[in-house]
Structure 1
Amino acid sequence: MLALLHTSPLHVPVFDALRDAHHPGLGLRHSVAPDLLARARREGPEAVAGDVTAALLRAAADDGVRAVLCTCSTIGEVAERAAGEVGVPVVRGDRPMAAAAVAAGPRIAVLATVESTLPPTLALLDDEARRADRPIRARARVVPGAWTRFEAGDIEGCARLVAAAADAVTDADVIVLAQASMTSAAEFTTTAVPMLSSPRPGLAAAARAVRPTG
């Protein structure tokens, strides 16, 4: 059983669909805590570190849970650091995407819909670059208006704004969509630059943590 900690209920069907398509039979148990993101945006991720740990502990306490996947990039760093207190592996959902971005080339364009996501995402890319011993040049921007549409439930409207921002990127080896909520932009973009999002590789990494022998 894999527990997932989300900061929006809109992520639940996305990960259920990925499970059905790529990991049939994997049990998922969803926990949604939108207040964690709201506070992290106001006060910074460190301000909610204790509450993130508590949420992870609650998620891991369910019978049969063998790992927890944190799907929110804003709180991903503090969630990952809490692994020692949780008792089961804690998978940071955007780390596999960051590793793939570093492998794709040095020029990385990062798109986000909230400002609070940028510092942890850029720090993660730097960490993966050090691990791989590869130089990178990452630049980041927030897509105006996209988060407002996502919060209102207009997933397609958010995706189209993100896609337009991605289509405007021409001088990058890879585009990183910093938040899981941005994934559906791939349906609308026409860019030739490879574009990465976190849900599919993040879930795959968490599935491996649940079933280490595959």
Structure 2
Amino acid sequence: MLGLLHTSPVHVPVFDALRDTDHPGLALRHHVDEGLLDRARRAGPDVGAVRAVLERAAAEGAHAVLCTCSTLGGVAESLATDVGVPVLRVDRPMAAAAVAVGPAVAVVASVASTLGPTVALVEEEAGRAGRRVDVRAVLVEDAWERFAAGDREGYLRLVTAAVERVGADGADVVVLAQASMADAATRADVPVPVLASPRPGLRAAAAVCGFPCPDPGTA
């Protein structure tokens, strides 16, 4: 069984659908705490609260926990030893894939608190791969307010427009910093790859739980 830490309930059906397509039979248990992101945006990550969610997931039988919030991913990952099960951040496989494409990486986010952790992750993966990267961080103004108000289509329109701008402005690859942005990867009309985190992130977590991975070419 895989536990998932979300900061929005909209991610639950997304990961359920990916599980059904790519990893049938893998049991998922979702833990949603919207307050974790709210507090992180105001005052930084609440490490104790993140640890409490991870410990609850482990106590309920999770073989691993996948954190789907990019703002909290680094903190969650660092707590694996404390909770006694592997803890993965959903965006790490995406970051590794991005640095393999080319050095000019555009990171697009709708929450400012996500930009720093995602840029740092891309740079970390570049270091591990022995590659040079030039990361450009782009905040999509007013998009998060649309998301918070339940206007998902308006949110995705703003994100898609931002992706198209940076994708046509010298980037080798565009990274969508938040799982909520994933649909913009297929909507944007750009000449470069646009990478989203949910599918590769779930694939990595499923592998830790002993489930076979689909052909990466289907992602």
Q: Would the TM-score normalized by the shorter structure come out above 0.5?
A: yes
Given that 2:94 and 2:195 are in contact with CA atoms closer than 8 Å, whether structure 1 keeps it comes out as yes
- Which residue, out of 146, 150, 154, partners 2:151? 154
Instruction: Say if 2:179 is the partner of 1:165.
Output: no
Aligned pairs (5 A) from 1:1-214: 1-45=1-45, 48-63=46-61, 65-169=62-166, 170=168, 171-211=170-210
Helix, strand or coil for the counterpart of 2:29?
A: strand
- Tell me, in whole angstroms, the C-alpha distance in 2 between the residues paired with 1:204 and 1:213: 9
- Tell me, in whole angstroms, the C-alpha distance in 1 between the residues paired with 2:80 and 2:212: 21
Letter in structure 2 aligned against 1:60: A
- Tell me, in whole angstroms, the C-alpha distance in 2 between the residues paired with 1:9 and 1:212: 25
Deviation digits for residues 100-144 of structure 1, max 9, x if unmatched? 011111000010001000111111111101100100000111111
Letter in structure 1 aligned against 2:121: L
- Tell me, in whole angstroms, the C-alpha distance in 1 between the residues paired with 2:24 and 2:136: 37
Partner of 2:217: none
Helix, strand or coil for the counterpart of 2:4?
A: strand
| Gap runs ≥5 in structure 2 | 214-219
Deviation beyond 2 Å, 4+ runs, structure 1: none
Deviation digits for residues 139-164 of structure 1, max 9, x if unmatched? 11111121111112222211111111
- Tell me, in whole angstroms, the C-alpha distance in 1 between the residues paired with 2:29 and 2:211: 19
Shift of 1:75: 0.4
Helix, strand or coil for the counterpart of 2:71?
A: coil
Q: Provide the TM-score with structure 1 as the length reference.
A: 0.96
- Tell me, in whole angstroms, the C-alpha distance in 2 between the residues paired with 1:191 and 1:212: 34
Assess, with a 3 A threshold, how the Cα gap between structure 1 residues 168 and 213 changes in structure 2: closer, same or farther: closer
- Tell me, in whole angstroms, the C-alpha distance in 2 between the residues paired with 1:91 and 1:204: 11
- Tell me, in whole angstroms, the C-alpha distance in 1 between the residues paired with 2:5 and 2:184: 22
- Tell me, in whole angstroms, the C-alpha distance in 1 between the residues paired with 2:70 and 2:161: 22
Given that 2:23 and 2:212 are in contact with CA atoms closer than 8 Å, whether structure 1 keeps it comes out as no
Q: Provide the TM-score with structure 2 as the length reference.
A: 0.93
- Tell me, in whole angstroms, the C-alpha distance in 2 between the residues paired with 1:33 and 1:206: 20
Deviation digits for residues 169-197 of structure 1, max 9, x if unmatched? 22110000000010011242111210001
- Tell me, in whole angstroms, the C-alpha distance in 2 between the residues paired with 1:212 and 1:30: 18
